[in-house]
Amino acid sequence: MKVALLGTAAGGGFPQWNCACALCLSEAAPRTQDCLAVSADGRGWYLVNASPDIRAQVLAAPELAPGPGPRETPLRGAFLTDGELDHALGLLMLREGAGLTVWAPAAVLHATRHALPMQAVVAGYGDWTWRPLASGAVIDGLRVSVLPVSSKRPRYAASSTVDGPWVVAYRFDDPATGGSLVYAPCLASWPPGFDHFVRGASYVLLDGTFYGGGEMSGATGSPADGAQRAMGHLPVAGTDGSLTRIRRHLAAAPGQRWAYTHLNNTNPLVDHDSAEYKEVLATGVDLPRDGTVLTL
C-alpha cells in the first residue's frame, strides 16, 4: 500500500493568510491543508479528504500525474472523514474530471446534498457517485474500516436535524502486504473503541491540530480555551492529551509508527527548532511534511 501525504496543516494552511502570529511570520516551512491519497497498487489512487489546496497538491505529487491518455487520471474516488469545508471543498476543484465516487458518513452526505449543495453543483460536470460506507468494505484491493469519533457538525449544517456521527476515522488494510494505515485528523477526544481500532496498524496518522490548551488565545488573543476545545480537536500535550495515550501504545507495541498531521498555524510543532517539536520526535512520533510518501 502506498500513502501520499498531500497536506499536513489544519484549516487555512501554514502560514495562514490572515494571521500575523509569531509562527506565521517565522521561517518555518509552509504546509498546505490536510489531506492524503492511498493506493493498493500505486496506479489507482483514492483521496482521503479533499482540501481547498487540492489542485496544487495534485500537481506536486508525481504519483497523481495525469496520463497516459490526454484526459486520464489515477484518481478513482475520495473518502471524507467529515463535512468541514477544509476537507470537502477540494471536490469542487476536481469538477473538470469525469467524476469520482465519494464515500462519507451518512450525515455528511445529507449535508452536502441539502445544506451545502455540493452534490448538485458537481453533477453538472461529470458522473459523480455519493455513497455511505460500511465498515469492512473492500475497494480496489484495500479493506476500509470506519470508526465514528465525533458528533461535531460543520457550521453550515448547524441547523440540520440529521443525527451523526459527523466525523469518522478510517483504517485502510492491504491484505496482500499486511500493511495498514489509520487516519484520524479530527479527534474531539480519545473515542471509545479507538485503542482497538489502531491495534496492529502499521502507521497511525493522528490529529495534531493544537499542541496545548489555550494555544490560540496565547498566540492570537482569540478564541478562549473553551472555544478551542469546541473546535473538536484533542490537544497533543497534557495529562489528557493524545501524546500520553501514544506513549502507552508505543510501550506495548514499539514497532508501531505514529505521526501527527493537521497542524494549526499556532502550533509550535510546525517549527522544527521548537522544544515541543524535539520532544515529540524524542517520543518516537513522526511529524511528516507535505509530500511524504509511505510504503506500508
CATH number at residue 28: 3.60.15.10
Residue 227 has a pLDDT of: 56
Cell triple for 155: 457550521
Residue 222, sorted as left (phi over 0), alpha (psi -120 to 50) or beta, turns out to be beta
Q: What's CA 216's distance to the chain center, in Å?
A: 20
Whether 160 and 154 have beta carbons less than 8 Å apart is answered as no
Q: Helices (DSSP H) in 61-179: which residue ranges?
A: 85-88, 90-93, 106-111, 118-123
Residue 226 has a pLDDT of: 55
Q: What's CA 293's distance to the chain center, in Å?
A: 15
pLDDT in tens, the chain (296 residues): 999 999 999 999 999 999 999 999 999 999 999 999 999 999 999 999 999 999 999 999 999 999 999 989 999 999 999 999 999 999 999 999 889 999 999 999 999 999 999 999 999 999 999 999 889 999 999 999 999 999 999 999 999 889 889 999 999 999 999 999 999 999 999 999 999 999 999 999 999 999 997 777 655 555 555 555 667 789 999 988 999 999 999 999 999 999 999 999 999 999 999 999 999 999 999 999 999 999 99
Whether 280 and 260 have beta carbons less than 8 Å apart is answered as yes
Residue 228 has a pLDDT of: 57
If one counts the domains in the chain, the total is: 1
Residue 232 has a pLDDT of: 73
Residue 134 has a pLDDT of: 87
Residue 296 placed within a domain: no
d(CA 16, CA 38): 27
Residue 164 has a pLDDT of: 86
Beta partners for residue 170, in sequence order: 146, 183
Residue 295 placed within a domain: no
Residue 214 has a pLDDT of: 74
Domain encompassing residue 12:
2-290
